Amino acid sequence: MKSIQRFLLGLVAALTLCAALPALAQEGPLDKSQPKGITPEQIIQRFAAKEKEFKEARDRYTFRQDVRVQTPDDNGEYHEVFDVLFDDQGKRVENVVFAPQSSLALISMSPEDLDDIRHRLPFVLTSDEIPEYDILYVGQQQEDELHCYVFDIAPKQIVGKKRYFQGRIWVDDHDLQIVKTYGKTVPDIRKKKGQENLFPKFTTWREQIDGKYWFPTYTKADDELHFSMGDVHIREIVKYTDYKQFGSNVKITYEGKEVPKGEKPPEQPQPPQR
């Protein structure tokens, strides 16, 4: 988010990511004991492999994404609804179905914001990306109706202009897939006073859509961005709906095996509706 607000310069105490973690809702207490029957390293290897399968599968789905960014202090709002589809050649395209004029005045939407909304809020951590991150097992936790292994992750280093995720992920102990993420995209961009691009902490929940993979369905951010010219309160809601598998000849695999199309999904626990 780029600030265009003009306030008197003041000293602002930075809120760290870790300090915000205890405020998360719908979670049981964190059990710091080691997992039984499996090591944290094995969990990482298995969920990263599942994430790679899931990323390839999600790329074969159409869906609708509803994005709403608000600044409550002045009732500013950016709202866009678009469908992610495929054209006649099978190329992935976006079709904007609703995009009224933005009324944001305290901030502006930067290209990095829009890219994050499309590609990083629905965070996916595959086996190809694991070497780029430090991953720390922190315990086990009940997340809604799911029992999860919890990991903190951070990029080992920032390379060029590449953007990363830093925060916490929850991996369910049944499917060994990521079911929730909390954190932010990094790094913030601070060139000079008045030219800052800051990004809020967000939570993304996933739900099981096809009986095999956990798809992102809801992202929420409610954060204070600390610009040099003053603080800006920001809220974001991103909804992902209408997932549909594209094409009759698409093959979806799960744990390395093809899943027959039309097969009745196994019964799986689902997170409560938000």
How much is the pLDDT for 143?
A: 92
Residues of the chain with pLDDT under 70: 2-25, 193-194, 248-274
Tell me the pLDDT tens digit for each residue of 158-183: 999 899 999 999 999 999 999 999 99
| Token code pair at residue 219 | 């992202």
Q: Shortest CA distance to 106 belongs to which of 238, 239, 224?
A: 224
Amino acid at 37: G
Rounded CA-CA distance 91/96 in Å is 16
pLDDT at site 194: 65
pTM equals 0.81
Compute the distance between CA of residue 92 and CA of residue 22 in angstroms, rounded to an integer: 39
Cβ count within 10 A of residue 242: 11
How confident is the model at residue 190, as a pLDDT?
Answer: 86
| Cis ω before 187 (30° cut-off from 0) | yes
pLDDT in tens, 224-271: 999 988 999 999 999 999 999 987 444 445 555 555 554 544 444 444
